[in-house]
Structure 1
Amino acid sequence: MIKPSWFSETMGSFCLILAQPPIWRGRLAADYWQQLGQRIRQQGGRLLGIWGEHQDTAGANIHAFFLTESGYLWCTLPLPANLREFPSLSSVFPTACRQERAIRDLLGLEPLGNPDMRPWLRHAAWPANIHPLAMSDIPEDILSCAGEIDYSYRAPAGQDLHEIPVGPVHAGTIEPGHFRFTCLGEQIVQLEERLGYCHKGIERLFVGQPPDAALRLAGRVSGDSSVAYAWSYAMAVESVAEIELSQRALALRGLCLERERLANHLGDLGALGNDAGLAFALTQLLAIKEELLRENAEIFGHRYLMDVVQLGGVAVDLDGRALQHIEQSSKAWRRRLETLDLLLQEHAGLRDRLVATGPITAERAAYWGMAGLSGRASGQAWDLRTHFAPPPYDRYPMEISLARRGDVAARWAVRFAEVFRCLRWQENVVANLPGGSPRVALKAFPKDGEGLGICEGWRGEVFVALRLEDGHIARCHPHDPSWSLWPVLEEAVCQDIVADFPLINKSFNLSYSGQDL
């Protein structure tokens, strides 16, 4: 395979670890850390995630995962035991800022050059000298010695400004997060988020588990993306164990992933209609979503498809009756949604609330490195189902959905377009499902090795990086696309009014749990 343009022998050692999709693995010295980031950025690449790893007496590792036109790069910066600092990538990729703050909280490593050194995940849950991912044993009395943190919010200068604090506890069923608005009258001048209230120590829970047992945890990192996380985790383990899945297993995994996407898009479209004052949209769309969830429970055994993805394939096979049922319901939903889509497009009140609300231009989207649904609504043509077309999308092509306005209306339109494309894709799969076994027999797992799995979840790229040691998990990092999209929301709401925040927020619908870990 031809080495990609960002490859350089002078930077360090790079090797191809997974050919489909093309994932390169590399190690390099600190002098080249920022240089590599700059080179990838200049060529239009993106930072997908950055995380850290404690290596006992050997020191620590900083990992970064990039996406470029020619493939992925999983790059590691080794830090000796006596070095507790690493060069920040936040000046090159602004979304690295919060991720590096999380590394500081969890591992005690200092990102040199990061403009914001406030705690991110720690809050007052544990003392500043405790770093959970850098310790073999956590003190039992950790909570009794935790203290309050003096956390200073950014305060813009100006007369006649006032603040509106919201959360972290919200009305209704919603995860906790604090939003601090600075306003001039009703107009939002600045929004600052503070998250981390959902921190559950998931990365710590992975450590020491056998690879097969940890799959259940992986599927519960963020409940609305269970298939995406489970598939990415399974792909990481399968790459270490060199397991090759059958075409039938891959097609069934893809079917589950698209049904997960359908359920979330239908729910979000309904909620957007409700936030815009159109309860009719909510009731109609949630009715179809509920039918989909009940069908999931009947055919796959779980409304939200948890535990369907298994190492080596899937837990549930589909017989002719199930395939016919899915095909018939898919076509019926498509007819109902086509009528509903036309009706909603002609609703003047809905258009008035959605158009020009919460815009992110294509230029700003490129600056932030946006991807996923919200990135495609701002003209960013990144979709892992089409970009590298990994199995089963090489066998069943998926068309990308794009818009350029970048406002709530564009995110609404991309959602609706993806709903129709998911339904047609689903009909294609059930009509042409390959033969074979839904699950292959597993070999004995290797005691040591590294693996990485990635797929296009409904919000964007979900990936899981894994390292095995002595047959158990030494480090597992599940990564949600919300890490890179929460900062964009702060920009999207500026110049809109406070009453439009719920609408803009729902148009992104980011995960708290997925990025709080």
Structure 2
Amino acid sequence: MTTLFELFSRQHVYMQEESAPGFAPACLMRVNPDDWGRIAEAARTENCRWVAAWGEDRGDELSVNACFEKEGAYAIARTGVPRAKPVLPSHSPYYAAADRPERHIRDMFGIAFTGHPDTRRWTRHQAWKEGEHPLRREFPADGHPPVPTAPDEHYPFLHAQGGGVYEIPVGPVHAGIIEPGHFRFQAVGETILNLEERLGYTHKGIEKIAEGRDAMALARLAGRVSGDSTVAHAWAACQAMEKAAGMEIPERAEFLRAIMAERERIANHLGDIGAICNDVSFTFAFYQFGRLREVWQRVNHEAYGHRFMMDCIIPGGVTSDMGDQVTVAMEKQITFLRTELEGLYNIIDDLPSLEDRLDTTGYLNPDTARAFGALGYVGRASGMAFDVRKDSPYAPYNRFSMEVPVYQQGDVATRVKVRAEEILASCFLMEKLIDELPAGQIRRDWRIPPSGAEGLGFTEGFRGEIMTYVRFGDNGRIARFFPRDPSWLTWPTLEKCIRDNIVPDFPVCNKSINGSYSGHDL
């Protein structure tokens, strides 16, 4: 099998493969900074997917990493630039997905990307001065907050001109409990010409406050990157730390993690389907799916002590085991859920008013989905079949065959359909996990990695692939933590799928994408 290093090498990019045991099975490639743009061009030529990019202050130089994937194989490209003149070629001419992550790196580290089409700040807003970069070592974790942060009212949104064109500002504060995000529409009548997002209002400084934590504290922090994906993010972080430490967790712990991850997936899909129906005034489905989600999460509480299973995944394993009583309760609940969903799915599939609002609405072209590297239900509704559990399987998923629903229609109705089928697939998978749950320990004592040890973690959250990078410093303390939520790659697709739809369809299009504000706004 040809490796990604070999693929890039035949595109005449000068690279050196470096040893990185904690990245396995991914390879690490050192790239000359002058060739940084060419590595993206080579990846695009070889039909690789652009996964993520992140920076790091290494003292004498600023390091930048980019992750690529093809057919389940991952590669990390790494380069470095001097602090005095941090300039690199941009990947955005080759990958639309690189746009916002590079702007984030520019804001946080002060690295300029030549050839980038958008020079506007992204993460900074007005929370720190123009010349300050919070992820450089000298910047304090608590910043410089003597006065309230000024509003970011002069952000230069794009403007459309012409007869009958008007703007609609939505947010950043919304009429509900969702997190803040600003949406600026240009429309003619009720038809949307363009949508531009402005995120970053929930910036928490997670990358900065991770520095200096021990492994247990980092796992807790990772579980709070996006609260609805606490299991998936904590698992990815622990996976990265365990690889860096060169340790394996007990088989039983792997199965227990997977059961929790599938329960998290089902709970979120249930909530999303109900919310999408509610956005087109089909409140019956909203109530019914909300009821099923509530019942589902109560069993989470009984089994793990927390409805969202927060802090249940720790370095070395898990905190809670499953006894016979919990196992029986989960098996009964799966049977109950299947029966309930059969009736509800029949209603949803046979309701003309729902079909009228969801079919063809919010169409995301498969080519556009591919250009942005769309993940999870968003990507799979538009022909992107990738699923980490299937295409780059990690334990215990490598023991099972996975069926992933994939369609080409790319509209809101199809994104609902993918969610509905994933619920049933997760029920079937959970039964297998419970039936084959091995005996044994549920955790191992944590082994402190040496200074400089690095690790990569990949999990499949309910929104799609989560990637986490961890590097340790002295005494087992975290030197760098970067979690890439799938929302980084799916939020931009909302701007594309909403075009030529009517203004009243924005809520349902938005919910069908359901990007995480918090997961994006680190």
TM-score, normalised via structure 1 length: 0.96
Match of 1:394 among 392, 398, 407: 398
Structure 2 residues not aligned, in runs of 5+: none
Aligned in 2, Cα 1:54/1:7: closer, same or farther, shift over 3 Å? same
Match of 1:41 among 29, 44, 47: 44
Q: Find the counterpart in structure 2 of residue 253 from structure 1.
A: 257
Q: Find the counterpart in structure 2 of residue 84 from structure 1.
A: 86
Matched, 1:176 2:162: no
Q: Find the counterpart in structure 2 of residue 3 from structure 1.
A: 3
Matched, 1:28 2:31: yes
Match of 2:498 among 493, 496, 513: 493
> RMSD of aligned C-alpha atoms?
1.8
Match of 1:240 among 227, 237, 244: 244
2-structure distance, mates of 1:81, 1:285: 52
1:465 aligns to what SS in structure 2?
strand
1-structure distance, mates of 2:144, 2:406: 52
Q: Find the counterpart in structure 1 of residue 110 from structure 2.
A: 108
2-structure distance, mates of 1:243, 1:505: 41
Q: What does the per-residue CA deviation read over 1:469-497, in whole Å, with 9 as the maximum and x for residues that have no partner? A: 11311111111111111111001000000
What is the CA distance between 1:146 and its match in structure 2? 6.2
1-structure distance, mates of 2:428, 2:75: 33
* TM alignment of 1:140-219, pairs within 5 A: 141-144=144-147, 150-219=154-223
Structure 2 residue identity aligned to 1:502: P
Matched, 1:67 2:96: no
Matched, 1:420 2:424: yes
Match of 1:99 among 98, 101, 109: 101
What is the CA distance between 1:38 and its match in structure 2? 1.7
Q: Find the counterpart in structure 1 of residue 352 from structure 2.
A: 348
Structure 2 residue identity aligned to 1:63: N
What is the CA distance between 1:259 and its match in structure 2? 0.7
1:130 aligns to what SS in structure 2?
coil
Q: Find the counterpart in structure 2 of residue 131 from structure 1.
A: 133
What is the CA distance between 1:113 and its match in structure 2? 0.9
> Which has the higher mean CA deviation after the structures are superposed, 399-408 or 61-70?
61-70
Q: Find the counterpart in structure 2 of residue 512 from structure 1.
A: 517
Aligned in 2, Cα 1:21/1:354: closer, same or farther, shift over 3 Å? farther
2-structure distance, mates of 1:140, 1:17: 33
2-structure distance, mates of 1:274, 1:140: 41
1:117 aligns to what SS in structure 2?
coil
Aligned in 2, Cα 1:336/1:70: closer, same or farther, shift over 3 Å? closer
1:429 aligns to what SS in structure 2?
helix
CA contact (8 A) 2:215 2:315 kept: no
Aligned in 2, Cα 1:123/1:428: closer, same or farther, shift over 3 Å? same
Q: What does the per-residue CA deviation read over 1:407-428, in whole Å, with 9 as the maximum and x for residues that have no partner? A: 0011010000001101111111
Match of 1:292 among 287, 290, 296: 296
Structure 2 residue identity aligned to 1:395: R
2-structure distance, mates of 1:250, 1:131: 39
CA contact (8 A) 1:449 1:467 kept: yes
2:213 aligns to what SS in structure 1?
coil
Q: Find the counterpart in structure 2 of residue 379 from structure 1.
A: 383
Identity %: 41
2-structure distance, mates of 1:311, 1:46: 29
TM-score, normalised via structure 2 length: 0.95
1-structure distance, mates of 2:148, 2:173: 24
> Which has the higher mean CA deviation after the structures are superposed, 445-454 or 400-409?
445-454
Q: Find the counterpart in structure 2 of residue 14 from structure 1.
A: 17
> Which has the higher mean CA deviation after the structures are superposed, 82-91 or 10-19?
10-19
Q: Find the counterpart in structure 1 of residue 277 from structure 2.
A: 273
Aligned in 2, Cα 1:215/1:393: closer, same or farther, shift over 3 Å? same
What is the CA distance between 1:18 and its match in structure 2? 5.2
2-structure distance, mates of 1:111, 1:11: 20
Structure 2 residue identity aligned to 1:475: R
Q: Find the counterpart in structure 2 of residue 53 from structure 1.
A: 56
Structure 1 residues not aligned, in runs of 5+: none
2-structure distance, mates of 1:274, 1:145: 37
CA contact (8 A) 2:22 2:454 kept: no
Aligned in 2, Cα 1:196/1:483: closer, same or farther, shift over 3 Å? same
What is the CA distance between 1:141 and its match in structure 2? 4.0
2-structure distance, mates of 1:305, 1:2: 40
